[in-house]
Amino acid sequence: MIKYFGVFFCALVLSGCGSKKIVYKPSSYTQAHYNFTGKTTASIPKNVKVALVLGGGGARAIAHLGVLEILEEYNIPVDLIIGTSGGSIVGALYADNPDAKSLRKIIQKMNIEDFVDFSVLSVIQGIHSLSSSFVDGRNGEKFLLKNMQAKNFEELKIPFIAVATDIVTGKTVPLNSGPIAPAVRASYSIPGLFTPVEMYGMVLVDGGVTAPLGIKIAKEYNAKIIIAVDVTLPLDNSRVNNMVDLVFKSLSVNYSVLNDLVSKEADILIKPSISKVGIFDAHRKDDLYQAGRIAAIQNMPEIKKQLSKKTSLIKRLLW
């Protein structure tokens, strides 16, 4: 079914080629908190020691929980969290309450309906406007508001950045000020599947469109060690039998190539062993959680080595 979402999105894009300039009008779901001025900014130190970059992948982002739990068990400090798409959901929840066990309780109770609300009427409306699509993402905002103490980035216990994409300019947008819920919603709003989020004068969609992993953003904060967690699936070798397969495979290849390119910039790349888990397969929670734990444990020797190396270098420079 996901294949048809991708094809639907491509059809919308292609149908706009050669037409007049698109004008984005404020949609009916726009609320006051989407119009936050953004003048205040959450305090993020410019010399971050450890930046944790969490990638997208829908339900596969649950594997991030297992990684976070192992980092806690081994006392690995996290000074900055940068999340894209599903990674922004887990990242925001953890930045609000840095306790993996508490987060696991929240995720155990979470189901796909907390973020996905399919509507046939919305699909029909979405053909003619940007205010509707297959899924109305407001459910996710409600879930975050219910399960988080912090409402604004400035209130989080760990500095956090949600990565989105401005679909008008094609620029990656790091969101780290103002209300958290709509920013995270923007970060996971897959084009053609979720309605985009209009805020700060931009039309924002899933950050994975331009930055599957926000490693470049971490570098802007001079992070000494960048630990990235990649929960994408490897490309399969299935045959292309029709035009639907062709379009879907093309989109998959494009995303995979971009993801592989940016992931090389991480100091540590944790890639949980995940296979055949779709973006809506939240019922695989335990499998995903364990995959994250195992991958983190496997990378722990290198993480400790990098931390020791960077810490020793800093001490030598100071003395």
Residues 6+ apart with CB under 8 A from 317: none
Closest CA to 59 of 114, 135, 4: 114
Known catalytic residue at 96: no
Helices (H) and strands (E) in the chain, counts: 10, 8
Gap between the Cα atoms of 263 and 211, Å rounded: 10
Q: Please report the sign of the dihedral spanned by the C-alpha atoms of residue 166, residue 153, residue 306, residue 54.
A: negative
Catalytic residue among 79, 96, 166, 206: 206
Whose structure tokens read 């630990």? 227
Say how far residue 95 (Cα) sits from the centre of its chain.
14
Catalytic residue among 85, 131, 132, 189: 85
Gap between the Cα atoms of 43 and 72, Å rounded: 23
Q: Are residues 167 and 203 in contact, defined by beta-carbon separation less than 8 angstroms?
A: yes
Known catalytic residue at 281: no
Q: Are residues 205 and 69 in contact, defined by beta-carbon separation less than 8 angstroms?
A: no
In Å, what is the CA distance from 167 to each residue of 68, 140, 173, 186?
Answer: 31, 21, 10, 11
Catalytic residues: 85, 206
